[in-house]
């Protein structure tokens, strides 16, 4: 019989307990209902008829646990404020994010080795996020870049904390760790290295129309943030100065 896995570090018990308590209180059962009248039937609205529907309200949640498998060291590294990649012993390709096996066909899925990488890199390409999924709305607007870590041959998505109008391809960045880390890609972010000039021919600054379009779209995001969260433009700009 295969040996059972052993827990060697447990940072999950509080959340497991919290979840058990949630279930113990009888959640996941129906709490109430409402009757609503709505159209029923396919096709055009005038071909439908009104029906009464019962809608039940049942709190529901999932405590999802899964393994990071053979790239666990990378995610544990984020918790411990270290950045790891992997290197192929045959072709010397360095992967960050890590790959367990080399993807170079000549290497025939060779096992890679772990290496520690420096906390710096450069912007390979980027997007400015003006809208997002719920979880990130209050972070808007933000820059999401593919950053090539120094020494790596691949690029990893990282938030660059800077004014969206200041980012450029090739920008040197330093990698920082957030105070609260959970072993998630969001544990890290990047800030531009000091003393860099925005190139006159950058994709934003070389095409003045692009810069004007972005500035206009940013105003839409600021208006949304104010209306939804009461977050002001100057609050957002303060994040980029810190």
Q: How far is the CB of 86 from Zn ion (least distance, A)?
A: 10
99 to 128: interface string for Zn ion, x by CB under 5 A: ---x-x--x---------------------
Q: Which is nearer to Zn ion, 152 or 190 (CB)?
A: 152
Q: How far is the CB of 69 from Zn ion (least distance, A)?
A: 20
The residue count for binding Zn ion (CB under 5 A) is 6
Please, what sign has the CA dihedral across residues 133, 139, 141, 142? Answer: negative
Report how far apart, in Å, the C-alpha atoms of 145 and of each of 44, 118, 162, 216, 217 are.
Answer: 45, 18, 11, 21, 19
Closest by Cα among 190, 118, 181 to 147: 190
d(CA 188, CA 164): 18
Can you name the residues that pair with 192 across neighbouring β-strands?
173
Q: Which is nearer to Zn ion, 117 or 173 (CB)?
A: 117
Q: Is residue 88 a contact residue for Zn ion (CB under 5 A)? A: yes
Q: Which is nearer to Zn ion, 102 or 143 (CB)?
A: 102
Q: How far is the CB of 97 from Zn ion (least distance, A)?
A: 16
Closest by Cα among 203, 192, 208 to 127: 203
Closest by Cα among 123, 130, 226, 128 to 175: 123
Q: Which is nearer to Zn ion, 104 or 174 (CB)?
A: 104
d(CA 235, CA 24): 41
Please, what sign has the CA dihedral across residues 39, 43, 44, 49? Answer: negative
Q: Is residue 174 a contact residue for Zn ion (CB under 5 A)? A: no
Q: Which is nearer to Zn ion, 117 or 160 (CB)?
A: 117
Q: Is residue 169 a contact residue for Zn ion (CB under 5 A)? A: no
Closest by Cα among 89, 97, 102 to 72: 97
Secondary structure in 3-state letters for 24-47: HCCCCCCCEEEEEEEEECCCCHHH
Q: According to CB under 5 A, which one of 12, 91, 109, 193 is a site residue for Zn ion?
A: 91
Q: Which is nearer to Zn ion, 107 or 139 (CB)?
A: 107
Q: Which residue stretch of 88-96, 118-126, 193-201, 232-240 sits at the interface with Zn ion (rule: CB under 5 A)?
A: 88-96
Q: How far is the CB of 112 from Zn ion (least distance, A)?
A: 8
Q: Is residue 90 a contact residue for Zn ion (CB under 5 A)? A: yes
Give me the residues that bind Zn ion (CB under 5 A), please.
88, 90-91, 102, 104, 107
């Amino acid at each position: 019989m295969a040996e059972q896995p052993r827990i060697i570090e447990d940072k999950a018990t509080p959340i497991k307990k919290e979840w058990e308590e949630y279930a113990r209180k009888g959640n996941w059962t129906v709490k109430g209902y409402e009757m609503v009248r709505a159209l029923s039937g396919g096709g055009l609205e005038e071909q439908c008829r009104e029906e009464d529907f019962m809608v039940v309200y049942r709190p529901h949640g999932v405590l999802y646990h899964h393994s990071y498998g053979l790239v666990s060291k990378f995610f544990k590294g984020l918790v411990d404020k270290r950045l790891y990649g992997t290197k192929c012993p045959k072709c010397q390709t360095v992967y960050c994010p890590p790959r367990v096996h080399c993807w170079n066909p000549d290497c025939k899925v060779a096992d890679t080795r772990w290496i520690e990488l420096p906390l710096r890199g450069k912007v390979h390409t980027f997007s400015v996020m003006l809208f997002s999924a719920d979880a990130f709305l209050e972070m808007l607007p933000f820059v999401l870049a593919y950053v090539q870590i120094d020494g790596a041959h691949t690029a990893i998505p990282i938030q660059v904390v800077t004014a969206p109008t200041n980012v450029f391809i090739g920008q040197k960045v330093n990698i920082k760790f957030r105070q609260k880390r959970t072993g998630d890609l969001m544990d890290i972010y990047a800030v531009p290295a000091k003393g860099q000039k925005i190139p006159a021919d950058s994709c934003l600054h070389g095409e003045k129309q692009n810069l004007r379009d972005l500035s206009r779209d940013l105003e839409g995001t600021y208006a949304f943030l104010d209306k939804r969260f009461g977050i002001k433009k100057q609050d957002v700009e303060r994040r980029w100065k810190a």
